[in-house]
Structure 1
């Protein structure tokens, strides 16, 4: 069959796009599949998609692109078919979208067309044809749409062959609201693939939540509940991943509850699987969930999910007490109690994590695709017809002479270009294993080079071919040995800075930068620095343009700021000493050095605690003027040696200045610099 999906914008990263890509990729194994994107806003999709799936954009929104529609007057004229709330003025739907979708639906040779949002469902009912099956999808809930959207959808659904909801409960709601219609109303869950990311082992004292920062997700409830958790288990941390209009309100709530050191707003992160795997518990506190892709994603990563038992998704995904916990919707105390139950029972948490991985297999794209196949076949059987046989024709067998000639040409032809794509995985010892996918590699004796940006320092490593167990489809690998590179054994140390990865083919000197698939930092979450060595740390990460890189720190001595507590009167820092920092004695002092001006430094005694820990308190009344002060430790006030910077480097986070934020109090605010060093700034200095 030829199956066509109608998407509003296939170049975004939303949940509907993700689930559609997953399903389309699975169907492409047996069918001809295309995704018709109403809008094109980028050169290529942001999310992974099977190579066999074709994307067909209808409107080119990029002003400088060839064939751009950016100045078409139809973009500014209102739609004649889609309700105003769905059209959003003329941003989402307009006269030009009316025209282009109508033309596509009149001309397509698809056997089935699947519309993925209300405006597209309305178009499919209005402009669709009996030549193909017309199927609508509901990715939200029946009762969550605005009245005019709901009314238009309810009027459109009877003109379709089938309409699917992502939960059986919502399908039942549709059947109750639309009695007596011939349209098949069925529940089919979203497709969520398993991940190759190394799953959680349940050991990190970390809870993870992810999604849009919007009111329906009730992250305010989770933050409030965390105040109870933090009081009992201050060593545990909560991370919230995502962007949205509630970000400022959540930041204010966190600061007001004094939880700045306990809850981190991480921003958006894609792919999110690497972050689920770092956690030991996932939290979903939504007021309502049509399905809950984040729940299944976390379960695939071996993380048990605590979720509110809201309509409708969580209760259909989680088996309470077996692979996760369900708590009453909107109940702050129940959320806290559920989190504490999982935090305080290591065996329960790990057992549920293993069960969650098994349960998540129900949502494998292949299984969901098979459900859609059965639906399409049944709908054609009801019609008494069959879709066209669109299996690709077998290529004609070439004569032997032609085959030999082609082989000779292939041998003498220049080798194909390198297109390396790789994942980087930190293991429990802190070593980094780079796994390069074989599809982009051509040649032999390939090398991985790791080059310090702006300096030219370069480390060369051979890329090892996959072994017999991995097979030809296995990754080529190189290992960055933490102990050897920290001590510069045999050559270049992993100096402080950002390092870029390239694959090199010595034969023709081809060199290509490595594209990032996954940067897995799970092994870094609970890792500690090597004893008896200079302090060295590294974190793999994807750059903003999608390449694989490593952020490294290498210092003779280091003072790790584990806990930062600020009041209106003073700043208290407690941490651990590493490398040469252990030389500090009883006369050690903390020094706040102004970056500008003639003001002298502010000093305070350092209390040395057991196991290499330290603590100091800087009273703000000692600070003169306004500006920025950098914090360090010294053997004494007159110590001529290089000061030991106070910083937060240990862990899996690349840029602490973007995540570890503290409120302004008494006109002062502690913050981490771009190098993750600790500093103090005044209100005027920003």
Structure 2
């Protein structure tokens, strides 16, 4: 439960390890082994990773309370919600000390496995602890006032059928799905959807129609990306289709769908770095 091997005069020298339990209400319970006196006042720090070229903002500090011999515990309540993004976890031994990155320990994500889509409040706030590529503990957070949760995706022939459930909005007159070509706001393919109540829906994307709409790259050109949205009613704001309500922080490399070949291009659905649903149209390599 700890990566601590040596202790300096002002606290741990080696990186401690954090165990995280996600509770049903969205609360995070973090347990850390720190060989410090109980009179110490260490803190858990969650620091939002800034976008490239931007400075760090203010992080979220939570007191670590004694929980046994060299054991400390912090509880991050569900409210207020974390801003959408990736939050790196640190321990601060005392005010003014440098922060120490937390190594990932056991992560109990059972409360997230079922998806929790029934009766979920809005805005949709999601937190998933995970291990970064460089071996640190972090929390992936989403916060969306309106959300379309992607369900099953069925591939058949030259098309894909997507099921989804709306949160924070209801289906009304003029509801539709749309695919928007990334980087070209005027390139939009609107698709009729099938409503199953006022929240559940499905729609079918014909890959050939995407290519006909100018979505097919020429030979040797870069792939064309179409981002998937739902418009719950005429004039309503579009809602990004994504898969957020489970225990997978990064879907892109986990959910890999097969590509469909259409002449000189191939098309496939995929989840982006932010777990949003998109379609990639890629030129076929000459053999």
TM-score under structure 2 normalisation?
0.81
3-state SS of 1:650 partner: coil
3-state SS of 1:656 partner: coil
The answer as to 2:69 corresponding to 1:461 is no
Distance 1:518 1:663 in 2: 33
Do 1:584 and 1:635's aligned partners in 2 also have CA atoms closer than 8 Å? Answer: yes
Do 2:128 and 2:249's aligned partners in 1 also have CA atoms closer than 8 Å? Answer: yes
1:277-356 equivalent positions in 2, closer than 5 A: none
- Segments of structure 1 that go 5 or more residues without pairing to the other structure are 1-47, 52-412, 487-493
Counterpart selection for 2:24 from 408, 428, 447: 428
Counterpart selection for 2:128 from 539, 543, 562: 539
Match of 2:86 in 1: 498
Higher share of residues assigned strand: 2
1:16-415 equivalent positions in 2, closer than 5 A: 414-415=9-10
The answer as to 2:287 corresponding to 1:665 is no
Match of 1:588 in 2: 175
Distance 1:617 1:531 in 2: 26
Q: Note closer, same or farther for the CA distance 1:433–1:611 as it changes in structure 2 (3 Å cut).
A: farther
Distance 1:600 1:545 in 2: 38
Shift of 1:428: 3.3
- Segments of structure 2 that go 5 or more residues without pairing to the other structure are 51-55, 217-223
Q: Note closer, same or farther for the CA distance 1:522–1:532 as it changes in structure 2 (3 Å cut).
A: closer
Distance 1:441 1:595 in 2: 54
Do 1:628 and 1:685's aligned partners in 2 also have CA atoms closer than 8 Å? Answer: no
3-state SS of 1:659 partner: coil
Q: Note closer, same or farther for the CA distance 1:683–1:508 as it changes in structure 2 (3 Å cut).
A: closer
3-state SS of 2:99 partner: strand
Superposition RMSD in Å: 2.8
When Rg is computed on C-alpha atoms for both structures, the one with the higher figure is: 1
Matched residue pairs, number? 261
The answer as to 2:165 corresponding to 1:576 is yes
Do 1:443 and 1:505's aligned partners in 2 also have CA atoms closer than 8 Å? Answer: no
Distance 1:572 1:518 in 2: 37
Higher share of residues assigned helix: 1
Shift of 1:514: 1.2
Counterpart selection for 2:231 from 610, 634, 639: 634
Q: Note closer, same or farther for the CA distance 1:630–1:441 as it changes in structure 2 (3 Å cut).
A: farther
Counterpart selection for 2:196 from 609, 625, 631: 609
Counterpart selection for 2:137 from 540, 548, 552: 548
Shift of 1:508: 4.3
The answer as to 2:101 corresponding to 1:521 is no
Do 1:630 and 1:680's aligned partners in 2 also have CA atoms closer than 8 Å? Answer: yes
**Bigger RCO (CA 8 Å, 6+ sep):** 2
Do 2:171 and 2:199's aligned partners in 1 also have CA atoms closer than 8 Å? Answer: no
TM-score under structure 1 normalisation?
0.36
Shift of 1:527: 4.0
Deviations 1:275-297 (A, max 9, x none): xxxxxxxxxxxxxxxxxxxxxxx
The answer as to 2:235 corresponding to 1:648 is no
Distance 2:177 2:94 in 1: 51
Do 1:603 and 1:618's aligned partners in 2 also have CA atoms closer than 8 Å? Answer: no
